[in-house]
Chain A
Amino acid sequence: MDVILFLIFAIIAVVCAVNVVVQTHPISSAISLIGVMASLAVLYLLLGAEFIAMAQIIVYAGAVMVLFVFVIMLLNAGAESKRGRSLMAQLLGMPLLIAFLALASYFIQRLYPTGAIVHFGVFQGGSAQSVGMALFTTYLLPFEVTSVLILIGIVGAVVLARKELP
């Protein structure tokens, strides 16, 4: 059951991800990206990380992508026109892509030769409680540093967005 679900949502994620690049209209790309985020959330759920799955939907599919769509709507960006590709891209594109994929799979094999296959229900540390415990005990310093970083980002945004005083 989990293998079937994994295959279904992995395929949806990959198809949506390819679609993000292929689509010429920004809104279609954004919708495909939402599809990627949502199917990734289902994959997290299958791995037993239910809190991460919901955070993925709330933060990425919900908040970040809504802002993307909002900005695209506000700017009313049209479809981009296709231009002819350069000779270099036509000749070298596909071979380079294949070479890159081969290298990536080779290094994954080398780095994790004995990686066990994860099954549904094996991993139990994905509940909100255990994530919270890990964040506030083991990873307290990175957590606080990240929150300070985000605070700096917010202050920076406010400063940039403020109107110049006469």
Chain B
Amino acid sequence: MEFFVISIIKAAVVAFALLTTLAYLQWVERKVIAHIQVRLGPSRVGPHGLLQPLADVIKLITKEDLIPPYVNKFVYLLAPFLAVTMSLISISVIPFGSEIQVFGHTTWMQLTDLNIGLLFILAVSSMGVYGIALAGWASNNKYALLGGLRSSAQMISYELPLSLAIAAPLLLVNTLSLREIVQKQAGSILNWNVLPQIVSFFVFVIAGFAETNRVPFDLPEAENELVAGFHTEYSSMKFAAFFMAEYGNMVTITCITAVLFLGGWQPLFPAAWGSNYVPVVLFAAVGALAIYHGLHPARRRDRLTLPVFGAVSLVLAVLFLLPPLQQALIPLFWFVAKVGSLLFVFIWVRGTLPRFRYDQLMGFAWKVLFPAALLNLLVTAFVVAWRS
């Protein structure tokens, strides 16, 4: 009984946090890209456009939900459902932190730890192709069909280097459970898989960009040739479902990268050298800076928003000092910091790189990434066999 209650509470917390992250990830992306392009980005709804995601959700829900008469209705309705389910379900095996104690109950900051966790994620991500492919087909529209075809071909091609890139670090850690993978990388940055598996890391991240259909691999929705690609015919919440699925896939890929290569919730250097005080110093510095700029505002509205932001940061810094909260917050801080940095790289790349041509995309997967991943796997296997 206790198990069920704890599981339900954990599932609710994770689902709420994930959906909020997805909504605000979109705000962060718009803001970051705007600043890369020397614009302001969303700034009308709330201070610095902070309520923009909420406004977007209301807009999307209240929009008219069109179903064109020429679509295959069952598949058309099934596709966004499949896409969003498969993108959100992977979060259930991601470990966010170590063991915590809440009101006398001991539990892990992870929904469930499968001993085939990584295979589960691969299986779910391979099922995610259907959402996009079927959406393109069911729309009964040339642009959508081309988008769906491109995306299935791309996802099938890039799944191979992705799986091979996962296999190499697995040889080092010798387990498929995500929790044990993180525990094997304990200590400092020297024990992370990213150092011996740097080739794998880059192959995985690049293939991850392609798997999530992000720039520079966003051929399925290349707007200047395909209108909007596979979701041309979708409106209202069904369009939002595809949008959510894309951001959900992004979060999943970055979480796996953090767990597999960057040591998950493990700190950068051991706690003996004071890694527990990194978040405190960081948040205190951010808070002090924000309050300083709030007192000497460059724009009039900064007089209010920056001190509030600074005060929140200072409160967070104090929270990280409290011993009962430390054991839960510090692993979470490191995990979120790693995932956040990777997400920023995703957005940064989108703001920087142009789109590939389609033949370049396929050639890159089969002629560069795949041999590189295969060679890396071979070398790793020889090294592991030689050492044991």
Q: Would B126 and A73 count as touching, CB distance under 8 A?
A: no
Most buried by B among A28, A62, A67, A73: A62
Q: Would A66 and B116 count as touching, CB distance under 8 A?
A: no
Q: Which chain A residue has the least Cβ–Cβ distance from B72? A: A27
What are the residues of chain B within 8 A of A73 when measuring CB–CB?
Answer: 133, 136-137, 145, 148-149, 152
**Secondary structure type dominating chain A contacts:** helix
- Mark each residue of chain B from 36 to 48: 1 if its CB lies under 8 Å from any CB of chain A, else 0: 0000000000000
- Distance in angstroms between the alpha carbons of A99 and B149 in the assembled complex: 44
B347 within 8 A of A: no
What are the residues of chain A within 8 A of B130 when measuring CB–CB?
Answer: 34, 66, 69
- Distance in angstroms between the alpha carbons of A71 and B277 in the assembled complex: 56
Q: Which chain A residue has the least Cβ–Cβ distance from B120? A: A54
Q: On chain A, which size bracket covers the interface?
A: 20 to 34
Q: Would A70 and B75 count as touching, CB distance under 8 A?
A: no
Q: Would B115 and A50 count as touching, CB distance under 8 A?
A: yes
- Distance in angstroms between the alpha carbons of A38 and B72 in the assembled complex: 23
B291 within 8 A of A: no
Chain A nearest CB, measured from B67 CB (Å): 18
- Distance in angstroms between the alpha carbons of A51 and B133 in the assembled complex: 27
A69: contacting residue among B119, B123, B133, CB under 8 A: B133
A31 within 8 A of B: yes
A57 within 8 A of B: yes
Chain B nearest CB, measured from A60 CB (Å): 10
What are the residues of chain A within 8 A of B176 when measuring CB–CB?
Answer: 128
Q: For residues 2 through 45 of chain A, which have their beta carbon under 8 Å from a beta carbon of chain B?
A: 27-28, 31, 34, 38
What are the residues of chain A within 8 A of B72 when measuring CB–CB?
Answer: 27
A122 within 8 A of B: no
- Distance in angstroms between the alpha carbons of A69 and B130 in the assembled complex: 9
Chain A nearest CB, measured from B48 CB (Å): 42
- Distance in angstroms between the alpha carbons of A128 and B119 in the assembled complex: 10
Chain A nearest CB, measured from B329 CB (Å): 33
B156: contacting residue among A50, A51, A63, A127, CB under 8 A: A63
What are the residues of chain A within 8 A of B78 when measuring CB–CB?
Answer: 31
- Distance in angstroms between the alpha carbons of A57 and B159 in the assembled complex: 14
Most buried by A among B115, B116, B145: B116
What are the residues of chain B within 8 A of A66 when measuring CB–CB?
Answer: 126, 129-130, 133, 152, 156
- Distance in angstroms between the alpha carbons of A73 and B133 in the assembled complex: 9
B122: contacting residue among A38, A58, A127, CB under 8 A: A58
Query: Contacts A62-B129, A69-B134, A70-B133 hold; do A54 and B152 have CB atoms under 8 A apart?
Result: no
Chain B nearest CB, measured from A77 CB (Å): 11
Chain B nearest CB, measured from A54 CB (Å): 4
- Mark each residue of chain B from 140 to 152: 1 if its CB lies under 8 Å from any CB of chain A, else 0: 0000010011001
What are the residues of chain B within 8 A of A57 when measuring CB–CB?
Answer: 123, 126-127
Chain B nearest CB, measured from A128 CB (Å): 6
Q: For residues 181 through 225 of chain B, which have their beta carbon under 8 Å from a beta carbon of chain A?
A: none
B153 within 8 A of A: yes
Q: Which chain B residue has the least Cβ–Cβ distance from A126? A: B116
Q: Would B153 and A63 count as touching, CB distance under 8 A?
A: no
What are the residues of chain A within 8 A of B152 when measuring CB–CB?
Answer: 66, 69-70, 73
Q: Which chain B residue has the least Cβ–Cβ distance from A73? A: B137
Nearest 4 pairs between A and B by C-beta? A62-B126, A54-B119, A57-B123, A73-B137
A residues at B contact (CB < 8 Å): 27-28, 31, 34, 38, 50-51, 54-55, 57-58, 61-63, 66-67, 69-70, 73-74, 76, 127-128
Beyond the given A27-B134, A31-B134, A58-B119, could you list 6 further A-B residue pairs with CB under 8 A, ordered by the A residue number? A62-B159, A69-B130, A70-B156, A73-B133, A73-B145, A128-B115
18 A-B interface contacts by CB (under 8 A) = A27-B75, A28-B74, A34-B130, A50-B115, A54-B120, A54-B123, A55-B119, A58-B126, A61-B123, A66-B130, A70-B149, A70-B156, A73-B137, A73-B145, A76-B145, A127-B116, A128-B116, A128-B176
